[in-house]
């Protein structure tokens, strides 16, 4: 048998300002039957296409919903249509922070998402 080294660090999206194009938003149910969203984006890093997924509970999703064309109805309620988000573009900051479950691991997270005019290429 040969010894080997395995890198278990996640391939995190780089920190800093980034532009993303939304591919889709999936709504799933956790084992407790509570909903959560998977925001699927595409972007470019160093000239190569790189996918990015952001998983959020509904109470954490307001800023992304508005950036993707939804409206804030007040009192923590947002109106949107997940079928209309494909192709929407945002600019945001990516930060690295400790994972919720394992504080020794880092995860990337979107902050300050802002909608972008659809005609701007990135």
pLDDT for 105: 85
Low-confidence ranges of the chain (pLDDT < 70): 118-122
Kindly report the pTM of this predicted structure. 0.85
pLDDT for 46: 82
> Rounded distance, CA 36 to CA 102, Å?
20
pLDDT for 118: 65
- CATH number assigned to the domain with residue range 16-116, chosen from the 4 options 1.10.3470, 2.40.50, 3.30.70, 2.40.170: 2.40.50
> Rounded distance, CA 67 to CA 47, Å?
25
pLDDT for 94: 95
Beta-ladder partners of 114 = 91
Instruction: Choose among 13, 60, 64: nearest CA to 36.
Output: 60
pLDDT for 54: 95
In the chain, where the domains are located: 16-116
Helix (H) or strand (E) holding 24: strand 16-29
């Amino acid at each position: 048998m040969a010894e080997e080294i395995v890198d278990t660090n996640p391939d995190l999206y780089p920190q800093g300002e980034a532009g993303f194009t939304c591919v889709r938003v999936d709504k799933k149910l956790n084992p407790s039957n509570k909903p959560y969203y998977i925001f699927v984006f595409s972007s470019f890093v160093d000239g190569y296409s790189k996918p990015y997924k952001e998983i959020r509970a509904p109470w954490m999703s307001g800023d992304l919903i508005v950036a993707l064309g939804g409206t804030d109805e007040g009192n923590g309620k947002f109106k949107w249509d997940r079928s209309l988000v494909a192709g929407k573009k945002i600019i945001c900051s990516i930060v690295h922070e400790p994972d919720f479950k394992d504080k020794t691991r880092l995860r990337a997270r979107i902050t300050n998402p802002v909608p972008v005019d659809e005609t701007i290429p990135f």
